[in-house]
């Protein structure tokens, strides 16, 4: 195992320390937790957004903390859901009286632990609601989920729901727009190589040098097809066609071409070129495109494609100002 780390058992805390040192004016750590929050939290009278999950997907989730996006993120151990008590500490830390909204990716541990934390917070008199993101069209169930997995489309939920909250939306309004994003976003990914969880020290799965897997999950969950590596255009077709077959994207879309940690920007832009060509052929207008690393899987080589069908409301919120380190507008 080759990694730039110190103690494999301290990677999350070391990462949090480095993140906050890079953003000291805007981020803080809640003492004795793995919770990172806005420096000015709680913001009185504003609905607060909390997300999180296992670490290893950086910049998700703590990279999306900032004015206009998240108020806090709970950083679990690598690929491990944060515990209910950690999520509860995040809720307490950001509650400004208008309620707290949880963005949960559809993984069994995340759903159970975030919902348990919600119940505990509500018992303390804090208003809490949530949305579960399940944008991955690759498989209906996996070793980590019942139903579709939540992957990079979650970033659109963070941004748009966060903008609604920053604009003064009520808890009910924030939930409504988050559910609208979930209903209109679809994603699919693929992998060329596995990744290594630091505490394990060995690859999480195996792919031969000339193999790729279509539909791979962000923790290395199996996809729908394993075969020989093909061209960028063929990969773009495989991912985009599956997404388009799942939902009516006629009109306008936002596109997210996401690297999984070890894919050069050059390759992501090559994929993006073909994705745009496919959408143009289908008569679908691209409103805005995002290319880069938004939700990774440690050092996995691969990518995912997300399409979000947008209307005037979603476009306005997507364009709203953001001060999050990983999503500045």
**How is 14-70 classified by DSSP, letter by letter?**
HHHHHHHHHSTTTEEEPTTSSEEEETT-S-TTS-EEEEEEEESSTTTTGGGBSTTSB
- Spell out the residues 6+ positions from residue 273 whose beta carbon is closer than 8 angstroms to its own: none
Portion of the chain with pLDDT greater than 70, in percent = 99
User: 12, 78 in Cβ contact below 8 A?
Assistant: yes
Helix (H, G, I), strand (E, B) or coil at 5: coil
CA distance 107 to 83: 13
Checking if the pLDDT of 125 tops 80, the result is yes
What pLDDT shows up at residue 91? 99
CA angle 245–233–302, rounded 5-degree value: 85
Query: What pLDDT score was predicted for residue 308?
Result: 99
Rounded distance between C-alpha atoms, residue 250 and residue 58, angstroms: 32
121/156 Cα distance (integer angstroms): 26
Between CA 320 and CA 329 the distance in angstroms is 7
What percent of the chain shows pLDDT beyond 90?
94
Half-sphere exposure of 213 (CA within 13 A, CB side): 20
Q: Residue 153 pLDDT > 70, yes or no?
A: yes
Mean pLDDT (the chain) is: 96
Output the pLDDT for position 204.
83
Structure tokens at 109: 């541990």
Does the pLDDT of residue 143 top 80, yes or no?
Answer: no
pLDDT number for residue 220: 86
Does 141 have pLDDT greater than 90? no
Report, as residue numbers or ranges, the catalytic residues: 57, 219
pTM above 0.75, yes or no: yes
Mapped to the 3 state alphabet, what secondary structure does 209-222 carry? CCEEEECCCCCCCC
Is the pLDDT at 145 greater than 80? The verdict is no
- Rounded-to-integer distance, Cα 137 and Cα 141, Å: 10
Q: Which domains does the chain have, with CATH numbers?
A: 8-184 (3.40.50.10440), 185-319 (3.30.1180.20)
pLDDT digits (tens, 9 = 90+) for 159-179: 999 999 999 999 999 999 999
* DSSP character string of 149-215: PP-TTHHHHHHHHHHHHHTT--HHHHHHHHHHHHHHEEEEEEESS--B-TTT-SBSS---TTEEEET
**Angle ∠(232,236,241) on CA atoms, nearest 5:** 155
82-87 contacts: CB < 8 A, separation 24 or more?
82/34, 82/52, 82/53, 82/54, 82/110, 82/113, 83/113, 84/113, 84/114, 84/116, 84/117, 84/120, 85/117, 86/33, 86/34, 86/35, 87/50, 87/52, 87/113, 87/114, 87/116, 87/117
Q: Are the C-beta atoms of residues 18 and 5 closer than 8 Å to each other? A: no
Residue 111 has pLDDT above 80, yes or no: yes
pLDDT in tens, 49-93: 999 999 999 999 999 999 999 999 999 999 999 999 999 999 999
For residue 140, what pLDDT band results from cuts at 50, 70 and 90?
A: confident
- The first and second tokens of residue 226, run together, are 């394993």
231 C-beta neighbours (distance < 10 Å), count: 10
Averaged pLDDT, 317-324: 98
The residue among 130, 310, 245 whose CA lies nearest residue 290 is: 310
Model confidence pLDDT, tens digit, residues 215-266:
999 998 888 999 999 999 999 999 999 999 999 999 999 999 999 999 999 9
Reading the block at residue 73, the tokens are 């993120």
* CA dihedral (243, 246, 251, 256) positive or negative: negative
Q: How far apart are CA 182 and CA 178, in angstroms?
A: 6
CA 142 to chain centre: 18
Question: Two tokens at 214?
Answer: 């279509």
**Confidence at residue 221, expressed as pLDDT on a 0 to 100 scale:** 87
């Amino acid at each position: 195992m080759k990694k730039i780390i110190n103690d494999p058992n301290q990677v999350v805390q070391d990462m949090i320390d480095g993140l906050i040192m890079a953003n000291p004016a805007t981020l803080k750590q809640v003492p004795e937790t793995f919770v990172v929050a806005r420096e000015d939290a709680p913001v009185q009278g504003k609905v607060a957004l909390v997300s999180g999950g296992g670490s290893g997907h950086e910049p998700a989730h703590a990279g999306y903390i900032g004015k206009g996006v998240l108020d806090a993120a709970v950083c679990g151990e690598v690929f491990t859901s944060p515990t209910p008590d950690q999520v509860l500490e995040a809720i307490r830390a950001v509650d400004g009286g208008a309620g707290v909204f949880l963005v949960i990716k559809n993984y069994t541990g995340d759903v159970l632990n975030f919902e348990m934390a919600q119940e505990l917070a509500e018992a303390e008199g804090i208003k809490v609601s949530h949305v579960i993101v399940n944008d991955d069209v690759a498989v209906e169930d996996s070793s980590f989920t019942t139903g579709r997995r939540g992957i990079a489309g979650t970033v659109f939920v963070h941004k748009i729901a966060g903008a609604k909250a920053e604009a003064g939306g009520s808890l009910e309004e924030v939930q409504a727009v988050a559910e609208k994003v979930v209903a209109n976003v679809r994603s699919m990914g693929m992998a060329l190589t596995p990744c290594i969880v630091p505490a394990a020290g060995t690859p999480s799965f195996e792919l031969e040098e000339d193999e790729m897997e279509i539909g791979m999950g962000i923790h290395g969950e199996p996809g729908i097809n394993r075969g020989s590596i093909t061209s960028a255009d063929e990969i773009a077709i495989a991912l985009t066609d599956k997404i388009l077959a799942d939902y009516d994207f006629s009109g306008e879309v936002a596109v997210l071409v996401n690297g999984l940690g070890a894919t050069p920007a050059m390759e992501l832009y090559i994929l993006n070129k073909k994705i745009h060509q496919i959408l143009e052929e289908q008569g679908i207008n691209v409103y805005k495109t995002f290319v880069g690393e938004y939700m990774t899987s440690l050092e996995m080589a691969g990518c995912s494609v997300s399409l979000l069908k947008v209307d005037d409301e979603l476009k306005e919120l997507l364009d709203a100002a953001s001060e999050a380190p990983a999503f500045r507008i």
